[in-house]
Amino acid sequence: MTIPQTDLKKMERSAEYFLNGGDLHILVGNVLFRVHSFFFERDSAKFRDILTTPVSPSQPRPGSTDSRPMVVMNCSPSDFSKFLWVFYNPKYSVYSATPAEWVAILKIAHEYEFLEVKNLAIRGLDTCDLTVVQRIRIYETYQADTMYLLPLYATMCMREDGPTDDETEEMGMKTSLMIFRARERLRSDGSKSPLPNGVDESEVFRMLYSFLGVNPAPSNTNTSNTGASSANTNGHRDPQDPNGKKNTKTNGTRNRSNSRTGGGGNGAGIE
């Protein structure tokens, strides 16, 4: 990809996250952020690969100046500000956000491989007032670990009624078929509900593991870590180096279906 040129005069400094002592300049849209590279090197494989790649003495490190920012694409400045809040939260262990804000954080964390932030966002969403189907859709979209999805699938399998038309549309055909088939197998005696005698939650989990083609793990059936009990009742794009070449050292697979270009800058683009 050819990194587009930026009209530096149009850039605005972030009112909240253009920080004294920051050593990493990031451009999102036309808003320039100056933050600490420590968090990005520590928590993101994609940023780490760019920030730790040796450069020639005559060439500044990507993101080291406001005239050579790293360019983050496919998110808004406001969403990126909320993402940075995870690192700079003044209330330390108190993380309170709306569902939409957690989803924005989750999206960025997933695209740029901030694994711990991704898990934090999922735990945050577990505390929000969302239906089981909404959680399934969000967690599948951003490839949440199976440990978060299994209790939600189990809830859909064990409840009295199968997915409604609206729920089927929201979950998509693949997930809906898996749930319908699991429900049918669990009720192989032909009864609609409740589950046959002798069928407990552990058997539901074992069946779902089989349907998903994954190996059971003890931690994956621990519903206390996933918010499943509340759910029962309420219902990548790769970095670019300064020359615009794809960085092949990153983990994960490029999702070509989501590829878009945007933003700009005389710097390294991260899509």
pLDDT in tens, 81-122: 999 999 999 988 889 999 999 999 999 999 999 999 999 999
Confidence of residue 205 (pLDDT cuts 50, 70, 90): confident
Query: Using the 8-state DSSP alphabet, how is residue 193 labeled?
Result: S
Domain with 186 in it: 131-234
As a whole number of angstroms, the distance between CA 218 and CA 132 comes to 22
- Has residue 188 been placed in a domain? yes
Q: Would you tell me how many other CB atoms lie within 10 Å of the CB of residue 10? A: 9
User: Would residue 6 count as lying in a domain?
Assistant: no
Residues 166-186: pLDDT tens digits?
Answer: 999 999 999 999 999 888 887
* Polymer length of the chain: 271
What pLDDT was estimated at residue 262? Answer: 37
What pLDDT shows up at residue 53? 86
* Distance in angstroms (rounded) separating the CA atoms of residues 95 and 126: 12
What is the number of structural domains in the chain?
A: 1
More confident residue, 44 or 67: 44
pTM score above 0.85 = no
The answer to the question of residue 28 being in a domain is no
> Mean pLDDT across the stretch 188-211?
66
Answer whether 224's CB lies under 8 Å from 151's CB: no
Assigned domain for 265 exists: no
Residue 200 domain-assigned (yes or no): yes
Asked whether the predicted pLDDT for residue 259 surpasses 50, the reply is no
> Does residue 196 lie within any of the structural domains?
yes
> Mind listing the pLDDT tens digit for each residue in 20-31?
999 999 999 999
Q: Which of 212, 160, 163 has its CA nearest to residue 186?
A: 160
Tell whether 153 is covered by a domain: yes
Q: Please check whether residue 73 lies inside any domain of the structure.
A: no
List all residues 6 or more positions away from 104 whose beta carbon is below 8 Å from its beta carbon: 75, 79, 82, 83
